[in-house]
Amino acid sequence: MPRIALVAGLSVVLAGCVDAEIGDPFDDSDAAVGVTDSGPFADRAPGAPDARITDATPSTDAPPCVEGNVNVVDPDTGTCYMYFSTTVPWDVALGACGTVGADVHLAAITSADENAVVASILAGVNDVWLGGSDVMVEMTWAWVTGESMAGYANWRTGEPNDVGGEDCMIMELDNGGTWDDRGCGDLYGYICER
């Protein structure tokens, strides 16, 4: 009778194998003809499946990127970006991203490629909150993740200018995806990142 085994995610049918000729890794009856299991199957009980053989469905640790009004996965990094169109103050956007999941936060853009991916998903949207602010130290901008802004910045010319106490960051999609500082109480949609 054919036997089916899952090996490295593939289904393989073992048919017509004579135990005495090649040994059957799933049956210890080989001992009757002088062949004993050694190697990866030797430590299991006769007839027991190998615990290392798993379901053929590959698993991923990352949940699907389905939240928000628009979402995209960066093909290079696997990072999920989610746009939420509800207009809220910056601190509400910060908290709302946290409710999506423990590892979700306002987007922290650390490269030109990442900036381009985020900007590409928002056709028809003008301004959105990002995860940058200078609330802790005036004119010392930091990402909510603690990542440095030293390596990459995309401020619009003349920004940040702190006019009227602007301490929170937006991306201006109607201005090529550049950044601007705005009052944290202003109302915009927001980009979350996981």
Q: Which domains does the chain have, with CATH numbers?
A: 1-59 (no CATH), 70-193 (3.10.100.10)
Given a contact cutoff of 8 angstroms between Cβ atoms, the answer to whether 183 and 175 are in contact is: no
Q: Are 180 and 156 in contact (CB under 8 A)?
A: yes
Alpha helices in the chain (DSSP H): 19-22, 90-100, 112-120
Give me the pLDDT at residue 148, please.
81
Tell me the longest C-alpha to C-alpha distance in the chain: 89
pLDDT of residue 60: 54
- Amino acid symbol at 139: M
Q: What is the tens place of the pLDDT at every residue in 68-121?
A: 999 999 999 999 999 999 999 999 999 999 999 999 999 999 999 999 999 988
What average pLDDT does the segment 16-24 reach? 41
